[in-house]
Structure 1
């Protein structure tokens, strides 16, 4: 089984809504897409867990800190999971047969421009940060905000603060102007954790060819996502739809920069045959039917591990 890295899931958001949820629950009883058993069944050796604050919860730093605490008490504390703060943790997890768990922040709305909160989240393990979700916040407009503005003055400072701390910038969910502001400002490689190709599916959450090329040019990473409506306008979405986006990124020269960011536990509709991480082998089989094994190994996990190993301090 080829090892898998997944750049985005929303387990922590579900746990914030329902503290009784557990990563160790059985497949029959769990309300989570991502469980310890399914990660093992899918060969997932690296899973990124996003802090995302749903609209019904208070949008303040304490709420983000609460989800960070859930990461440590309900994910990192599970036997067989290893929290990742630096590249050496990835290597240790692989050597010991553990699942590496990496903490990200999806949208900075809750920080309210409080720099102490960013610094504290970094100390709690946040190493990846998406500036906006779909709407506008104090730092930037999101991908579906009609105004379509770029980074604010504080948003520009945020990019600099993240680079000083060693937090990698995630451009998924950013407005196009925000994306290009990051591309102009960034002194380190940036990435998209869960975005697809707009040339294949014309959706504002997907990336144009110019955006994809900009990520490739800085030695970044593109995580193809399994969100059905980012893959196709047809129902149901299939693994072939995922492969079309893979093929397009490869055509742009991105075969060594391609990864996956499922968005499991953040969606309520699924690709046929890709409803949870335990089904990654079906995707691997479909990829191996089209591409040589070294490339598929990179798509599934090798490219993401290389990117993180080079860029995590």
Structure 2
């Protein structure tokens, strides 16, 4: 069964290696092309993530370097990898092709300059998360003690996302920022988050947040990080099933997807150590849900709820 995975950090890993890793088959990459094929990943999203310790005046260049890595190493050396630049591109992928979509994990690289965000849109960014775990000029993240909401800049970024038919990702926001986004965003998404009722971690969403996402037409893509699945981190495939089941119970059967966070996590779910093992998760889900439901989780729900028009 084909899968759309909404989050991985392969670009960060490739950039950190100074491009010494081959995207085709490097063992160090959870989401190398060989493993995407084995796991039947039909579309992989690639996050642009800049480490917090990078100097503020160097972050935009660091983002451009990761985008260049995407163009040169992922697309340029692998003809089967096709750049998803418009929402309609999902519908034109051929057999044997794998779609590749850019996302931004935290707007730190743009500072307070919306022109830089527009440049990132032009280069292919189709989903924007305002923060990583901490505070920046737009919002506070899930681990920021202050827990403040969106700044005026943050609100303007969400409005610009709306105008460009770009997703606004809530996965790393603190709760107050989350609720500010819900008031403004036309296309909210949680690219890699789980249910806090089952695993009490600040990166997970409360039932109230989950219901609000579903009521707004947003998608929640469950993440494979063991510590977002179980407090003790001893997670198995059945724990992913439990989180999906909980989301279904809150009314989200048609709005659930997958967001592995591969290449951004060191600990792994037993039996789901890299993208090549993804079909093991699909097989486990088929034991608990109908084939139609699992197709939804794997890829159809995202296709049904993506923005359809490009401006």
* TM-score clears 0.5: yes
> Secondary structure, in 3 states, of the residue corresponding to 1:310?
coil
For the 8 Å contact 2:187–2:307, the answer to whether it is kept is no
In structure 2, how many angstroms separate the alpha carbons of the residues matched to 1:191 and 1:312?
18
Residue 36 of structure 1 aligns with which residue?
Answer: 33
Q: Structure 1: which 5+ residue stretches go unaligned? A: none
Deviation at 1:90, TM superposition (A): 0.9
What are the superposed Cα offsets for residues 98-148 of structure 1, whole Å, 9 maximum, x if unpaired? 111110000011211111210111010001000011000000000010000
What are the superposed Cα offsets for residues 2-58 of structure 1, whole Å, 9 maximum, x if unpaired? 1101000000111111121221125xxx21111111101111001100000123544
1:3-82 aligned at under 5 Å gives the runs 3-18=2-17, 19-26=19-26, 30-59=27-56, 60-77=59-76, 78-82=78-82
Residue 181 of structure 2 aligns with which residue?
Answer: 182
1:67-106 aligned at under 5 Å gives the runs 67-77=66-76, 78-93=78-93, 95-106=94-105
CA RMSD of aligned residues (A): 1.3
**TM-score of the pair, normalised by structure 2:** 0.95
Aligned length: 307
For the 8 Å contact 1:239–1:283, the answer to whether it is kept is yes
Residue 260 of structure 1 aligns with which residue?
Answer: 258
Residue 202 of structure 2 aligns with which residue?
Answer: 204
> Secondary structure, in 3 states, of the residue corresponding to 2:212?
helix
In structure 1, how many angstroms separate the alpha carbons of the residues matched to 2:2 and 2:193?
21
**TM-score of the pair, normalised by structure 1:** 0.95
Which among 188, 191, 203 is matched to residue 189 of structure 2? 191
Aligned: 1:218 with 2:216: yes
> Secondary structure, in 3 states, of the residue corresponding to 1:226?
coil
In structure 1, how many angstroms separate the alpha carbons of the residues matched to 2:98 and 2:284?
24
In structure 2, how many angstroms separate the alpha carbons of the residues matched to 1:68 and 1:166?
20
The structure-2 alpha-carbon separation of the partners of 1:69 and 1:91, relative to structure 1 and needing over 3 Å to count, comes to: same
Residue 301 of structure 1 aligns with which residue?
Answer: 299
In structure 1, how many angstroms separate the alpha carbons of the residues matched to 2:147 and 2:31?
33
> Secondary structure, in 3 states, of the residue corresponding to 1:48?
strand
For the 8 Å contact 1:127–1:312, the answer to whether it is kept is no
